[in-house]
Amino acid sequence: MASRTCDPARRAVRTDVHRCHGVRRHRSSSRRRPKARRRRSNRWWRSGGAAGERRTVSGQHRHPIFARLYARLSGAAEAKGVAEHRAEMLSGLEGRVVEVGAGNGLNFAHYPSTVTEVIAVEPEPHLRKLARLAADEATVDVTVVDGTADSLPLEDGSCDAAVCSLVLCSVTDQAGALAEVRRVLRPGGELRFYEHVLADSRRFAMVQRAVDLVHPHVAGGCHVTRDTERAIAAADFEITSIRRFRFAPDLLSTQAAPKILGAARLVRESTVPAMPPSDG
């Protein structure tokens, strides 16, 4: 009777056949797929695939489709009145200014000559690239840097003023962003703001809340339901001037939300505890 004992070569062949048919793999196979390769694949998937490999310090702020759409639409809005609002917001500024969320740099052309330096912080790569092009054409000294509103790359008390222009709608945590603004301002420093906000009208506010279920997901995190005036006051700023108005240069102007434009001065010593993260 022939021996039933299999030699090692035949055992390896059977193991390979079993693998092809989904049978549990035999540890003795010399053709086993390298474990290191599988672990690399898992890490790549958990990190977000190809997008994860491209990620930078502010990679979570990549919104390539929205960034390109915003860059196109914002130019048209400038010609319909937004440029005048920017000039009004920046009028009278002096010294060193930090601009939080500079976008594609549309504010740069409106800074007065009394501003000695602008540090423009922008996390979205495409918009930051456009902002650097705009900085080259500015009449004041503008440096565009990568960074986020909740972690500004500046020293404490290093700025005379801060500018938030259509950005407090998009930050993850308004209280945290305003706390960072407060940190980098010198005592008595000034905040200039231009933002769209939640309407006072109950009916309009209901529409905004319905829109807000979708809007942040298609518009780079932009919320249309925030009470930014209240958030600024709660962050220990004294609002010294404010203008409330309605303005919609086109149908994609954040659903024609009411706007606020004004200035606030930093109270010398903070007396208000930090707010919990915004849920809006």
pLDDT tens figures, 127-161 = 999 999 999 999 999 999 999 999 999 999 999 99
DSSP 152: -
- Asked if 259 and 194 touch (Cβ cutoff 8 Å), the reply is yes
For the chain, list the strands marked E by DSSP: 95-100, 115-121, 142-145, 159-165, 185-196, 237-246, 258-266
Predicted pLDDT of residue 193: 98
Checking if the pLDDT of 254 tops 80, the result is no
- Asked if 144 and 125 touch (Cβ cutoff 8 Å), the reply is no
C-alpha distances in angstroms, 79 versus 18, 76, 248?
A: 70, 5, 12
Residue intervals in the chain for CATH 3.40.50.150: 59-266
Reported as a pLDDT band with limits 50, 70 and 90, residue 55 is very low
Burial 21-36 (b: 16+ CB within 10 A, else e): eeeeeeeebeeeeeee
Lowest mean pLDDT among 21-30, 62-71, 113-122: 21-30
Q: State the Rg of the chain over Cα.
A: 27
Question: What are the backbone angles phi and psi of residue 58, rounded to the nearest 5°?
Answer: -110, 35
- Dihedral sign, Cα of residue 260, residue 263, residue 267, residue 270: positive
CATH top class, domain 59-266: alpha beta
Half-sphere exposure of 266 (CA within 13 A, CB side): 23
Reported as a pLDDT band with limits 50, 70 and 90, residue 272 is low
Distant-in-sequence, close-in-space partners of 260: CB < 8 Å, separation ≥ 6: 193, 194, 195, 197, 228, 229, 242, 243, 244
Predicted pLDDT of residue 277: 53
Closest CA to 189 of 199, 200, 198, 180: 180
Length of the chain: 280
Model-wide pTM > 0.75: no
- Asked if 247 and 192 touch (Cβ cutoff 8 Å), the reply is no
At residue 218, the 3 state secondary structure works out as: helix
